[in-house]
Amino acid sequence: MKHAFGWRLGVIGVVVALGVLVFMPNIAQISWWPTKTKIKYGLDIQGGLYLAMGVDTPGVLRETANRLADTIREAAKTKGIGVI
């Protein structure tokens, strides 16, 4: 049991060390550091992109009413009812 715990702790240590190795150029300017490239941040971290979507409610209601009127008009024609 203690042997398995040691392996787990060792793997966690290696992963943390690699993370620090890769991330260090982003927080410090060290000339002798092995990795020089910085992590490229996505839009969400850089400041993001604001997207606002809206609905033209009067237009949607108008279109829905027109479609309903067309449906009623077609149903009346098929039943022989006069439509104005």
Which pLDDT tens digit goes with each residue over 29-78? 777 766 667 667 776 677 766 777 889 999 999 999 999 999 999 999 99
Q: Is residue 28 in some structural domain?
A: yes
Question: Which pLDDT belongs to residue 35?
Answer: 66
Taking the model in full, what pTM does it have? 0.39
Q: How far is CA 23 from CA 20, 27, 59, 74, 79, in A?
A: 5, 7, 51, 67, 74
Structural domain tally of the chain? 1
Residue 80 is encoded by which pair of tokens?
């022989």
Domain encompassing residue 55:
2-40+48-78
Mean pLDDT throughout 20-35?
73
Instruction: Give domain status of residue 7, yes or no.
Output: yes
